[in-house]
Amino acid sequence: MPLFNEPLHVGRPNIGDRERLHARFDKLLCSRTLSNDGPFVKSLEAELTTYLGVKHCLAVCNATVGLEIAIRALDLRGEVILPSFTFPATAHAFAWLGVTPVFCDVDPTTHNIDPQAAERLITPRTTGIVGVHLWGNACDTDALANLADRHRLRLLYDAAHALGCAHRGRMIGNFGDAEVFSFHATKFVNAGEGGAIVTNDDLLAERMRRLRSFGLQGQHVAEVGTNAKMSELSAVMGLTNFESREDFIAANRANFFAYQAVLADIPGLRIISPTEQGRYNWQYVVVDVDAHEAGLSRDEVQAYLLAENVLAKRYFWPGCHRLPPYIQDGNQPPSLPATELLCDRLLQLPTGSAVSHKDIAKLGNFLRHLVTRRHKQAA
């Protein structure tokens, strides 16, 4: 029998107050307004605008399309520099629109894009830089802003991991030309599926609103656009879950420290901690597996966990720069040492409101037994 009868998931969806959710769905069905910037979408946008302290928020059907809208609105072309150590959707959004992703290495401590490495990749074809606030840890926003200003580049952030996080006293959402959040089912605040683009640039917001809705300016088509609107059904879920955000953050935080306590004395297993003090969503529990100290590789640890119904994930193996779509004509991928090291060592463990401290204790004890047994075998 496996350790857990039911699978222990990474990112099993949080569900907010069900009575409010059901009441809103009932109101929605009675109104028969299901799309086209209805009242629930507008309410969600207003809540996010206030919470993040930004001027503009546009709810979209998902974060990938949100990135695509921002890319078009910023007129990004040619080449754009972005980290390889990210979910492929970040790179795909550019490639899908014919913009070439130029993959950059990351800082081995923060796991975010390395500004110095990014500067070395700038060419006459470069039009923008993309930072990803990985695990909710903010990029080096000052260095990236300076770099973008000196080279006259646009600066866009993928903030899919970073709702509710702050950097130097400012909420993430207030950096660069625009930032994109995700409300996918696996995010701690989810809309089932959805996303949002935020910006403090009035003209950029106006254009993104047009692009989000077929290029319409009023009732006239001003330019080529697409249909990226969030539905009212998603907005109902998003708004209800957003109201429970502090409960979800509290559960995430408690789980993080429960993991930290149970894994503290296990050789070779180290939890990645926030890079700065302040507001943080504690959404991810990521463990660095040192194969030399643990006696097992990250992939071996994952295999043992999967056999016990623990669906741990190796994010973001193997790195976007080593994915088949980005290795053209048999060319070798660029060498990105820090990215490749992280791809081979990091393991994401289950957390969220569906994971109990009892689950964490059981999982921690199993990992301790696993490492101890391997050390005895090697002695």
pLDDT of 326 above 90: yes
Which pair of tokens denotes residue 280?
């943080």
pLDDT of 197 above 70: yes
Taking the C-alpha atoms of residue 10 and residue 135, their distance in angstroms, rounded to an integer, is 13
* Domain spans, the chain: 18-243, 245-312+350-378
Taking the C-alpha atoms of residue 201 and residue 27, their distance in angstroms, rounded to an integer, is 34
Nearest to 251 by CA among 94, 360, 141: 360
pLDDT at 332: 87
Kindly report, residue by residue over 343-374, the tens digit of the pLDDT. Answer: 999 999 999 999 999 999 999 999 999 999 99
Taking the C-alpha atoms of residue 181 and residue 132, their distance in angstroms, rounded to an integer, is 11
What is the arithmetic mean of pLDDT over 214-221?
Answer: 93
Taking the C-alpha atoms of residue 145 and residue 102, their distance in angstroms, rounded to an integer, is 18
SS3 string, the chain, reads CCCCCCCECCCCCCCCCHHHHHHHHHHHHHHCCCCCCCHHHHHHHHHHHHHHCCCEEEEECCHHHHHHHHHHHCCCCCEEEEECCCCHHHHHHHHHCCCEEEEECECCCCCCECHHHHHHCCCCCEEEEEEECHHHCCCCHHHHHHHHHHHCCEEEEECCCCCCCEECCEECCCCCCEEEEECCCCCCCCCCCCEEEEECCHHHHHHHHHHHECCEECCEECCCCCECECCHHHHHHHHHHHHCHHHHHHHHHHHHHHHHHHHCCCCCEEECCCCCCCCCCCCCEEEEECHHHHCCCHHHHHHHHHHCCECCECCCCCCHHHCHHHCHHHCCCCCCHHHHHHHHHEEEECCCCCCCHHHHHHHHHHHHHHHHHHHHHHC
Contact 361, 349 (CB under 8 A): no
Residue whose token pair is 């070439």: 100
167: β partners: 170
Of 137 and 315, the structure prediction assigns the larger pLDDT to 137
pLDDT at 165: 98
Question: Whole-prediction pTM value?
Answer: 0.96
Taking the C-alpha atoms of residue 356 and residue 351, their distance in angstroms, rounded to an integer, is 8
pLDDT band at 328 (very low <50, low <70, confident <90, very high): confident
Taking the C-alpha atoms of residue 157 and residue 132, their distance in angstroms, rounded to an integer, is 6
pLDDT at 238: 98
What is the arithmetic mean of pLDDT over 56-71?
Answer: 98
pLDDT of 48 above 80: yes
pLDDT of 267 above 80: yes
Kindly report, residue by residue over 11-41, the tens digit of the pLDDT. Answer: 899 999 999 999 999 999 999 999 999 999 9
Alpha carbons within 13 angstroms on the beta-carbon side of residue 141 total: 22
Mean pLDDT of all residues belonging to the chain: 96
Residue whose token pair is 């529990």: 285
pLDDT of 329 above 70: no
Taking the C-alpha atoms of residue 18 and residue 275, their distance in angstroms, rounded to an integer, is 35
Kindly report, residue by residue over 73-121, the tens digit of the pLDDT. Answer: 999 999 999 999 999 999 999 999 999 999 999 999 999 999 999 999 9
Taking the C-alpha atoms of residue 74 and residue 56, their distance in angstroms, rounded to an integer, is 15
Cα three-residue angle 50-149-278, rounded to 5 degrees = 40
pLDDT at 378: 81
Contact 43, 239 (CB under 8 A): yes
Nearest to 8 by CA among 358, 351, 367: 351
Q: Domain 18-243 adopts which CATH fold? A: Aspartate Aminotransferase; domain 2 (3.40.640)
Taking the C-alpha atoms of residue 233 and residue 236, their distance in angstroms, rounded to an integer, is 5
Kindly report, residue by residue over 242-266, the tens digit of the pLDDT. Answer: 999 999 999 999 999 999 999 999 9
Superfamily the domain 245-312+350-378 falls into: Aspartate Aminotransferase, domain 1 (3.90.1150.10)
pLDDT at 300: 98
